[in-house]
Structure 1
Amino acid sequence: MIPRPPSVVIEALSPLVEGGRYPIKRAIGEDIVVETDVFKDGHDIVLAVLKWRKKGHHRWHETPMQCIDPYNKDRWSGVFSVFENAVYEYTIEAWGDYFRSWQHEFQVKFEAGLTELTSEILEGASFVGRAAKLAQDQGQKRDAERLVVLSDKVREGNPETVNALAHSPEMEALMTAYADRSESAEYLLNPPPVAKLIALSAPSAPLENAAAPARKGAGNVIAFPTESSPAGKKGAASKKKKPATVAEPKAAAAPVVAPEPEFHFTPRYPQVYVDRPRANFSQWYEFFPRSAEGRGDKGSTFRDCLPRVDDARAMGFDVIYFPPIHPIGITARKGKNNAVNCQPGEPGVPYAIGNRHQKCPNGGGHKDVAPELGTLEDFGWLVKEIHARGMEVALDFALNCSPDHPYVHEHPDWFYKRPDGTIKYAENPPKKYQDVYPLNYHNADWRTLWDELTSVIEFWCEHGVRIFRVDNPHTKPVAFWEYLIGRVQARFPDALFLSEAFTRPKMMKVLAKAGFTHSYTYFTWRNTKEGLTKYFTEITQTECSEYMRPNLWPNTPDILPSFLQFGGRSAFIIRAVLAATLSPVYGIYSGFELCENLGLDKKPWDAASNVGHFLHLCDNDYKQLAKEEYLDSEKYQWKQRDWNAPGNIKEIITRLNRIRHENRALQQLRNLQFQRTENDLVLYYSKMTAARDNIILVVVSLDPFHFQDAYIDVPVDQFGWVEDQQYQVHDLLNDERYLWTGRRNFVRLHPDKPAHVFRVRRKTHSEKDFDYYL
């Protein structure tokens, strides 16, 4: 008999990234809400289940889906949770539920007063009998016996008895457990064309014997075979055991040609990559180990870093991020403020990696540490000390090679060459980087290069590092990153990667799709209310949030934004609050807590006289205001600092990180909602847990110079409260408490206190329930 294709249609599944080409991303403990359209021809009732499993496992877990479309009943939703750092796959299975279709039809006829229902009763009994057979086949003897009894009762009952029995809790439970899925459809990313399957299907019997009644059992529906299905196994076996054709004469020996490699870019089922919790929630602190002591006359070592680590921990940070710690080249070494000529004793740029002339155990490249910082043993000691404090290390993965890198000596063909045979140094006109040679990822020996660079990450994973900030990944092939990250995470699934790509939106997004855990963002250049609202709506409320996790940085060693250069201490507080509350992952580069804002070329601009125009320039034309680079940047020198300099905002940062840790709403990304206020210099947004047991309202002045007032609309309806209900508002940032009523309330912000972070609670019946009584 020719098998029939399934008639249930499953389409418009979400979440799905690029048609399933890339996995969505979640962290351990998160829920994945899946929606899809499910429908079929005719009037049969349709049921659907959401199925999921760890990739490589055979057994599916499943949960019933619910119809969420009250009108045409085609949109369905289900949810599952993930609890391991692994790749999961998920799908939908749906079928026409003929028992429930019969159940509904029988009830309608019975309630309409029809008495001749003998045929309908026999049909219902047959459905229950089939369920008994399924239970028996699955080894569930007791359930099978109960279903046989129920089938007999249906067959022998009168219409009233049958109608009651069909809707009994026992019948509902058993018929759900042993539903006939023989004609079910399964969602696949690349289903074979049905017409082609039908054309290739050979009849199993003469056509005159192929007639089949409606609602036929298993074996008569085209099933798209899975890896473990009988059809799938049979197909694989036939490929392995294909018999030789003895009738053919033996052909002359042909030259052996290596087969073309097969690349399967899209998996069979949608996938989700589940990271460890720190991928979803973390706070980073970046500092140069060589400047750990804050001395300008000499460099520090790994053994000098603990006071800086402890200070970061006291502020609430849990990731310590080091710029490159590798040997620094001598040839064309840069001096202070990127001077072409380096003076004797100047330490050079850590991003000019490699010095084969130094005595390093691994040749002086990316698998060594700079001798002036210490040894690999010293680094290992520091990593253990950081881990002992509940923190971990992130390393910079900068694929730059100085002219003294061992790769230049051993593999010159890995680099770009000029017509005269010399190796090209890096350029980004008008900037020139004579101390760096860029790698050529498409050279003739590209696979060896890719494997070597992958081994660099694996080397540092073996030395206790699991987080890597990747420098300028957008200047390397996306395929390279997909290869490297995939290889590394196959061995070290807890490895996390931060993409430092300040480039075009599409490139930033595809790098996230290709495997980067975190992404730098345009947050640095989003200072207006319109710019912030539009940008963060995109990255938290659209498909982008399924694969891209924003890691917000108000400053970096390369970027000192104009807003910070002109806005003073208040500007630093504003950007800290925004970074810490808009995203569950953020970081600061050392000196931010000290409000360091001395730029390389700040223009004489009166920013306070027209704040709106100033913010517009910060977002769209910052070059009119300043070069966004530090004067006396520690990229080129040791940095002298007083780590407790007057005017610092360490206490505020500490409070922000404590607020983040104590409020689960701030540990999530996709719950961000911008709220209404009329003042264009005040940004107002909310975050709330799904259970509504943690509600945060954030109100931030975007003006670092003046007082700003605003009426804000509190979305009490979203909280499930009535309009005139009184509720408690606790400003966690400034430790002030209020009782508010209704939607519309007034706030005042000034430069010393430019933000509120409110936790909102229902008003309790006793003053003893206020926080300060606890």
Structure 2
Amino acid sequence: MSGRFPIEDVSPVVSCGRYPARAVVGEVVPVSAVAYREGHDALGCNVVWLGPDGLARPFTRMRPGEPGLDRWHATIVPDAVGDWIFTVEAFSDPYLTWHNAVTKKIAAGQGPTELANDLAEGVRVLRAAADLVPAAERASLDAAVRALGGTALPLPQRVAPALALADLLWAYPVRELVTTGEKYRIWVDRERALFSAWYEFFPRSEGAIPATVDAPARSGTFATATQRLPGVAAMGFDVLYLPPIHPIGRVNRKGPNNTLVAGPDDVGSPWAIGAAEGGHDTIHPDLGTPQDFRDFVAAAAEHGLEVAMDLALQCAPDHPWVTEHPEWFTTRADGSIAYAENPPKKYQDIYPVNFDNDPEGIRAEVLRVVRHWVGEGVKIFRVDNPHTKPVDFWHWLIGEVKRVDPDVLFLAEAFTRPAMMHGLAKVGFTQSYTYFTWRTSAAQMREYCEELVAAADYMRPNFWPNTPDILHASLQHGGPPMFKIRAVLAALLSPSWGMYAGFELFEHVARPGAEEYIDNEKYELRPRDWAGALAQGRSLAPFIATLNQVRRENPALHRLRNLVFHDIDNPALICWSKHDPTTGNTVLVICSFDSHTVQWGNTTLDMPALGLDWHDRFTVHDALTGAAYDWGQRNAVRLDPYLQPAHVLVLRRPDAPAPATAATASGTASATKDDARWTS
């Protein structure tokens, strides 16, 4: 910092400026700082910010916050992907000092003689402003200067034109004794980095034919998986995530349900990467050719889906790296290579890479692999277990990739300690898996989401109600309403959410003693009758489509920083809102955590958080049912888990036109059909 005035506690700043803060194109980014000065003269603050092109953006004046705290606030809206720089400046504002002094002295009864020096000072300041304001405004400055010097005029008329320039000289201030703060960075990603809806499926299961006594199993291919794309797109997802698509090792291959012995038809885990056919830059021959993959990516794009690929930096025992670079792994005392363990779990089919052995060689190879797939049209990577690799490696890799391809995004699949999860976000991961799955009460969810909002300057959550590895007890035992509840929470609390295939079919049976699916798709083919379930009303797909449509149509749901919780007097219910001041869009959600019984509650809404005054009445339209209600600060709600476990309310004033509703008849499947699916 250079200059006269203290500038402290600047935000957004991550780890004292060691890492850039995060934003996306078009996001309203709050900037604040504490700045103060001696005496009674007025202080002003502004933000100077430069885009990736090195050009300064428009002057942004900061406004003071709560009186007496000396914290200043402004917002900036980046308009391009890349590395941005912002600086807070503080300055002496002679016009505001003059304005404050003159109005107080006149109010105290002082006359022209006592104000002679003040009037002269006003002339000086206005003349200094002449070169700062737009040409069209200079006439008003000249008129104010003449009035200040007009001794024949009554005092109020002499000062009135100059006092009337307050708004103009706020926007174009005379700045003296300018102090420049430290420079801080904001990395700006494309919109999908913050707002996205993910769907995960195994291509090999789509169109697969399981083994019979007469014929071996037959894997699905990229061609057969293409037939599933319209169904995924119809549910409103925009990111299609594929587990690893590489050759699968044969050595120590796992059988069904993670058994240690695989039969001749067992397909193995896609995360046991590498075999004689190749490694991380190769496609499993059962799925097709590289051209088949390109065709699949192109077909997905035609349906509005961007393909995300799994980046799992581990190897099967027969991966080419094991033969070509045995030094990249850990050798045990008996000379064998150590397989992966997370005691008491053992992964005999996987060798973890030791990043401390030949780090330069490993880095070069991984960067080559990532750039290979970027060249094949993949711009999103879901990274498997990044917390088991060095943090400085990820900082380097993501930086190198984004230096050439700034649109590439990385999702961290790290269910681990909070410090590590936050650390991975700070060093560059675009999105993060979270503890959402294990927050199963309203109080837990509110506390956790408030923690995430506090970290919004660098961490972007992605909420998943299920994954191939995780089938929480709430879904195992909660019945069909719990699937709706968890979908509402995931889709509307977080700007990014995702679900693993089978969620829409209410798949809920776990392997005994484990928090994962029985007959897990990680180890076997699992074709599903999507069309039949939908036709018979045994699918949650229409409800999911409604949620994703609501997300798309309401800009307030595209952001995280605007998440606000409201009080409700039933601990089984949660109430939150998101308000977008740019568009005026506001969404208010009340959701039950009880999938078995009806719950009542009474809200006490924070009206200013909704963009309203405390006494306002307003109309809400339920996007799930189309019903309309007249609401105020306090409202009674009734949530029936089988009929409607949540209200998703779009606000509008009574005189505003009614919005289009996303609700459809099929979007609220009957309790009877849901129950039939659950018990079948």
What's the TM-score once normalised by structure 2's chain length?
A: 0.87
Indicate if the aligned counterparts of 1:713 and 1:745 stay in contact, CA closer than 8 A: no
Tell me, in whole angstroms, the C-alpha distance in 2 between the residues paired with 1:722 and 1:176: 27
Q: Which residue of 2 aligns with 1:96?
A: 92
1:197 corresponds to:
none
After superposition, the Cα gap between the structure-2 partners of 1:636 and 1:142, relative to the gap in structure 1 and judged at 3 Å, is closer
Distance 1:93 1:422, change over 3 A: same
Counterpart CA distance in 2 for 1:94 and 1:491 is: 36
Q: Paired residue for 2:410, among 480, 497, 502?
A: 497
* Equivalent residue pairs, number: 648
SS in 1 for 2:463: coil
CA contact (8 A) 1:165 1:171 kept: no
- Aligned in 2, Cα 1:60/1:587: closer, same or farther, shift over 3 Å? closer
1:369 maps to which of 258, 264, 283: 283
Is the contact made by 2:61 and 2:171 (CA closer than 8 Å) also made in structure 1?
A: no
Matched residues in 2 for 1:154 and 1:651: separation? 70
Query: How far has the Cα of 1:591 moved from its partner?
Result: 0.6
Partner of 1:249: none
Contact 2:95–2:169 (CA under 8 A) maintained in structure 1: no
Matched, 1:598 2:592: no
Is it true that 1:319 corresponds to 2:239 in the alignment? yes
User: Does residue 557 of the first structure (1) align with residue 468 of the second (2)?
Assistant: yes
1:476 counterpart residue number = 389
Please tell me whether the aligned partners of residues 600 and 636 of structure 2 are also in contact (alpha carbons under 8 angstroms): no
Query: Which is worse superposed, 94-103 or 112-121?
Result: 112-121
The verdict on how the C-alpha distance between 1:453 and 1:733 changes in structure 2, with shifts beyond 3 A counting, is: same
Letter in 2 for 1:303: A
1:655 is aligned with what amino acid? T
1:57 alignment partner AA: G
Task: Please tell me whether the aligned partners of residues 48 and 56 of structure 2 are also in contact (alpha carbons under 8 angstroms).
Answer: no
Q: Secondary structure at the match of 1:79?
A: strand
Alignment of 1:305-454 (within 5 A): 305-355=225-275, 357-358=276-277, 364-443=278-357, 445-454=358-367
* Partner Cα separation in structure 1 for residue 51 and residue 2 of structure 2: 28
Residues 411-436 of structure 1: CA distance to partner in whole angstroms, max 9, x if unpaired? 11111111343321111112221211
Shift of 1:455: 2.0
Which of 146-155 and 514-523 deviates more?
Answer: 146-155
| Unaligned runs of at least 5 residues, structure 2 | 211-216, 662-680
1:763, 1:99 → 2: CA distance?
A: 43
Q: Aligned letter for 2:346?
A: K
Aligned partner of 1:164 in structure 2 is 159
Name the residue aligned to 1:630. Answer: 517
Are 1:184 and 2:178 matched, yes or no?
yes
Alpha-carbon distance between aligned partners in 1 of 2:86 and 2:398, rounded to the nearest angstrom: 22
* Structure 1 gaps, min length 5: 189-268, 359-363, 602-625
CA spacing shift, 1:58–1:294, aligned 2, 3 Å? same
Q: When the two structures are superposed, what TM-score results if normalisation uses the length of structure 1?
A: 0.77
Matching residue of 1:689: 580
Deviations 1:632-666 (A, max 9, x none): 11111111322233522111111111121122222
Please, what is the CA RMSD of the aligned residues?
Answer: 3.1
Q: 1:87-136: CA deviations, max 9, x gaps?
A: 1111111111345435654666675126266666666655566667x77x
Q: Is the 8 A contact 2:147 2:158 kept in 1?
A: no
Q: Secondary structure at the match of 1:50?
A: strand
User: CA offsets per residue over residues 564-610 of structure 1, 9 Å max, x none?
Assistant: 11122222111111111111111110111111111100xxxxxxxxx
CA contact (8 A) 1:580 1:656 kept: yes
CA 176–372 in structure 1, closer or farther in 2 if over 3 Å, else same: closer
| Matching residue of 1:224 | none
Secondary structure at the aligned position of 2:87 is classed as strand
**What secondary structure, in the 3-state scheme, does the structure 1 residue paired with 2:230 have?**
helix
Give matches, 1:736-747, under 5 Å: 736-740=627-631, 743-747=634-638
Query: Percent identity, aligned pairs only?
Result: 40
In structure 2, the CA distance between the partners of 1:684 and 1:176, relative to structure 1 (3 Å rule), is closer
Greater Rg over alpha carbons, structure: 1
The answer to whether 1:466 aligns with 2:379 is: yes
The aligned amino acid for 1:627 is: A
Give the match for residue 670 of structure 2: none
Please give the per-residue CA displacement for 1:302-348, whole angstroms capped at 9, x wherever unaligned: 11111211110011111110000011112111111112111112211
Q: Are the equivalent residues in 2 in contact too, given 1:131–1:180 (CA < 8 A)?
A: no
Structure 2 distance, partners of 1:527, 1:476, is: 30
**Distance (Å, rounded) in 2 between the aligned partners of 1:667 and 1:172:** 33
Structure 1 residues 180 and 703: CA distance shift in structure 2, 3 A: closer
Amino acid in structure 1 at the alignment position of 2:309: L
**In structure 2, do the counterparts of structure 1 residues 382 and 435 end up closer, same or farther at CA, with 3 Å as the change threshold?**
same
Counterpart residue identity of residue 639, structure 1: R
Structure 1 equivalent of residue 677 of structure 2: none
Change (3 A) 1:104 1:720: closer
CA–CA distance in 2 between the matches of 1:28 and 1:589?
Answer: 28
The amino acid that maps onto 2:572 is L
Q: Give yes or no for the alignment of 1:35 onto 2:29.
A: no
Question: Aligned in 2, Cα 1:470/1:339: closer, same or farther, shift over 3 Å?
Answer: same
Quote the Cα distance in structure 2 between the aligned partners of 1:342 and 1:495.
37
Aligned to 1:115: 113
**Cα displacement (A) at 1:560:** 1.0
SS at match of 1:187: strand
The answer to whether 1:582 aligns with 2:493 is yes
Name the aligned partner's letter for residue 305 of structure 2.
M
The one-letter code sitting in structure 2 at the alignment partner of 1:436 is I
Question: What amino acid sits opposite 2:266 in the alignment?
Answer: E
Alpha-carbon separation, structure 2, partners of 1:77 and 1:174? 18
Counterpart of 2:456 (choices 534, 539, 545) is 545
**Aligned-partner Cα distance in 2 for 1:745–1:130:** 59
Secondary structure of 2:392's match? helix
